[in-house]
Structure formats: C-alpha cells, structure tokens
Structure 1
Amino acid sequence: MKEIMVVVRMKKTGATKKALVAAGVAGFTAVKVSGRGRLVTDPVQIEECKAKLLAMGMTDLGDAGDTDKLITSFLDGSRLFPRRLFTILAHDDDVPRIVEAITKANRTDYGIGDGAIFVMPILDAVRVRTGESGEAAIW
C-alpha cells in the first residue's frame, strides 16, 4: 500500500478530482493548504511573472505601490500560496497510473508552481465501519 500526497494549484482542483475518478481511485481527501515550493531566483523570470500578473488586472487590489508589494511578496518567497492537498491511498500496482493522471491534469506551460507528488509506504489501514484491514481497507 502507498499513500500519495499531491499539492496542486487551487485552480486545478476540479481537473485533479476528475483525473483521479477517471484513473479509478476509490476515494481521496482534499484540504486547503498554504505553502510554497522552490523559490524563483532568476530576476528576469521574476520580472516576467510580475508583468504578467500586473497585466491580469491585479491593479484592482489597491494603489500601484501596494499591488507591486503584493506581487513581489508572492514571487520572492515572503508570502505563501494557497494550494490544495490531496491524499490518496492506493495499491502499489496502481501508483504509476494515478501519478500519471495527476501529472497530466496539473502540468502547465508556466514553468513553475505546477505542484508536487509524494509517494510513501503505508504499513496498515483499517476501515472503521467493517474492521477490514490492510489492502481490503483501501478499496
């Protein structure tokens, strides 16, 4: 048995749920989280991202100085991003199929921030309602 933890963009929540159902996942848990991944250190890439965000109408947030500070704090690592965390229990043989489905649903052309997938071993699982344990408890 494996536990698959997936961190994705909030806007990719629906696509991720659909991909999991299409991949045959029996059940999963999703919660809102905040965090951040690898920092972008390339000043050129930071300026490009900042320009894109400003062009997307971010000026509605307040005056230009406040908007610039907000965008910069997202890009320089001093602010956390809202994300969705999915937790899935799966049979070992199903993990590659599930990881592939999640990856296809969440890959973007942005080059950063597409999420992360962690696969960890599970020693045991118990279904509370029936008392089933092990592999029988997760499907």
Structure 2
Amino acid sequence: MKEIFAIVRMNKTGATKKALVEAGVAGFTAVKVSGRGKLVDDPAVVAGRKAAMMALADADEAGAEALIDGFLDGHRLFPRRLFIILAHDEDVPKIIEAIMQANRTEHKVGDGKIFVMPMLDAIRVRTGEAGKDAV
C-alpha cells in the first residue's frame, strides 16, 4: 500500500476530485493548506505571473500589487489544497497520472507536488478490517 500526498492549486480542487473519482480512487481526504515551493528566478516568468495576477485583482491596485509581490518574492504563503490518498501499489501510476493531467497548466510554475510514501497499515474503524481490505 502507498500513501499519496498531492498539493495542488485551490482552483484545481474540483478538477482533481473529478480526476481521482474517474481513476477509481475509493476515497480521499482534502485539506486547505498554505505554503510555497521553490522561488522562480526567471524574471520573465515572474513578470508574466504578476501581470496575470494583477489582471484578476480588485480595484485597490496598490494593495493588490503588494500582496502579489509578497507571493512572488516568497514572503507570503499561497493557499493550496492537500489531497491524501491511500492506494494499492498497482493503482499508484494511474492515480499520479490523473493528478498530473488535472493540474498541469501553462504557467510554468506552481502546478503542485506529489509525494508517494509506503503505508505500513490501515485499519477501518467501523469493521476492524486491516491492510488492503481497509483501503
């Protein structure tokens, strides 16, 4: 068994849920989290993301620009969604592919991360089933 953690953009939550269901995932947990990944050093990519974010900003451009600059320079954390999935070993590749397809964007930054870890055991509280039967 494996445990899969997928950190995705908030606006990709619905697409990720749909992709997981279509991939046959029996169940998963989703939690609101915040964080940041590796900062992007390419000025062109940073300028492009800033322009796109400013286009979505409210009327308070000065406040929005300070907030966006804080995201892009690493001082602020981005809101994200964390999906936690327990899976049988043979299902992991199709689950990873489903998550990647649902979350890949043209932005060249911030599309998320997927972590796969071994799962020692799982127990279903209601029935006491353990191991693969509990997943």
TM-score normalised to structure 2 length: 0.95
CA distance in 1, matches of 2:87, 2:64: 43
- Select which of 74, 90, 102 maps to 2:71: 74
1:1-53 alpha-carbon deviations (Å, 9 max, x no partner) = 00000000011000000000000000000010001111112223222222222
Q: Which amino acid in structure 2 is aligned with residue 69 of structure 1?
A: A
CA distance in 1, matches of 2:86, 2:35: 23
Provide the secondary structure at the position in 2 that maps to 1:31: strand
Aligned to 1:105: 102
Moved more, 111-120 or 46-55: 46-55
Q: Which amino acid in structure 1 is aligned with residue 22 of structure 2?
A: A
Specify every segment of 5 or more residues in structure 1 that has no aligned partner in the other structure, as ranges.
Answer: none
Aligned to 1:19: 19
| Aligned 1:1-139 pairs, distance under 5 A | 1-56=1-56, 58-60=57-59, 62=60, 64-138=61-135
Percent of aligned pairs with the same amino acid: 65
Q: Which amino acid in structure 1 is aligned with residue 108 of structure 2?
A: G
CA distance in 2, matches of 1:106, 1:96: 16
In the alignment, is the contact (CA less than 8 A) between 2:49 and 2:107 conserved in 1?
no
CA distance in 2, matches of 1:55, 1:20: 31
**Structure 1 residue 77: Cα displacement:** 0.5
In the alignment, is the contact (CA less than 8 A) between 2:45 and 2:108 conserved in 1?
no
**Structure 1 residue 59: Cα displacement:** 4.4
Provide the secondary structure at the position in 2 that maps to 1:29: strand
CA distance in 2, matches of 1:9, 1:124: 29
TM-score normalised to structure 1 length: 0.92
1:61-115 alpha-carbon deviations (Å, 9 max, x no partner) = x2x3322211110101100000000000000000001101111111111101111
**Count of matched residue positions in the alignment of Structure 1 and Structure 2:** 135
Specify every segment of 5 or more residues in structure 2 that has no aligned partner in the other structure, as ranges.
Answer: none
